[in-house]
Copies of this chain bind each other. A is one copy, B any other.
Amino acid sequence: MIRDGQRVLLIHDGKEYYVRAGNGTLSTDKGIIDLNVLMDATPGETIETHLGIPFYIRIPRPTDFFSHARRTGAPMLPKDIGMVCALTGMNRNDDVLDAGTGSGIASIFFGGIAKSVRTFEIREEFAKVCRKNIEEAGLENVEVVAGDMLDAEGSFDVVHLDLQITEAHIHHAHALLRPGGYLATYTPFLEQTFIVMDTAEPLFTDVVCHELIGRELTRTKRGTRPSTRVSHSGYITVARKE
Contact = CB atoms under 8 A, between A and B. Distances in A.
B223 A14 contact: no
Interface in A102-133: 109, 112-113
A91 interface: yes
B92 A225 contact: no
A52 interface: no
User: What is the count of identical protomers in the complex?
Assistant: 4
29 contacts: A9-B180, A14-B205, A44-B178, A62-B86, A64-B89, A78-B86, A82-B82, A82-B84, A82-B86, A85-B86, A89-B109, A89-B112, A90-B113, A92-B92, A92-B112, A189-B222, A189-B223, A189-B224, A190-B190, A191-B223, A194-B219, A208-B216, A209-B219, A210-B214, A212-B214, A213-B213, A217-B235, A228-B231, A230-B230
Interface residues of A, number: 70
Nearest to A86: B82
A-B residue pairs, 6 tightest by C-beta:
A82-B86, A91-B112, A189-B223, A82-B82, A62-B89, A230-B230
Interface of A: 9, 11, 14, 44, 56, 58-59, 61-64, 66, 78-79, 81-93, 109, 112-113, 157, 178-180, 182, 188-194, 197-198, 205, 208-217, 219, 222-226, 228-235, 242
A177 B151 CA distance: 44
B194 A224 contact: yes
A219 B197 contact: yes
